[in-house]
């Protein structure tokens, strides 16, 4: 991994402050914070943890899959399933 000059300056500042003992520790801490922020955003926006999202994706990939029947069949199915939410609006 190659750091930009700006990133190297940030790492030097972190090392000078004593917040990290090595470049590797500084980068690891930054990436860990980023990972945790992404996981938090998932919980805030989806109401699901990162593990829950992964499980849902895996379950979706496992099927069962509905065969594609064309746009007309899809539109009909969506109207039937979600018609109460449309409030008189139309789509498709």
Q: What is the pLDDT of residues 13-67, one digit of tens each?
A: 999 999 999 999 999 999 998 888 777 777 777 777 888 888 988 888 887 777 7
pTM above the 0.85 mark? no
pLDDT at 89: 64
14, 26 contact by CB (below 8 A): yes
- Is 26 exposed, middle or buried (CB count within 10 Å of its CB: 0-12, 13-18, 19+)? buried
Rama region for 77: left / alpha / beta (φ>0; ψ in -120 to 50; rest): alpha
Q: What would the mean pLDDT of 65-84 be, rounded to a whole number?
A: 82
């Amino acid at each position: 991994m190659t750091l930009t000059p700006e990133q190297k300056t940030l790492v030097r500042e972190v090392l000078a402050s004593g917040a990290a003992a090595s470049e590797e520790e500084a980068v690891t801490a930054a990436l860990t914070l980023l990972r945790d922020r992404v996981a938090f955003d998932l919980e805030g926006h989806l109401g699901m943890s990162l593990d829950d999202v992964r499980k849902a994706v895996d379950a979706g990939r496992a099927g069962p899959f509905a065969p594609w029947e064309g746009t007309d069949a899809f539109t009909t199915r969506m109207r039937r399933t979600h018609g109460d939410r449309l409030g008189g609006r139309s789509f498709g």
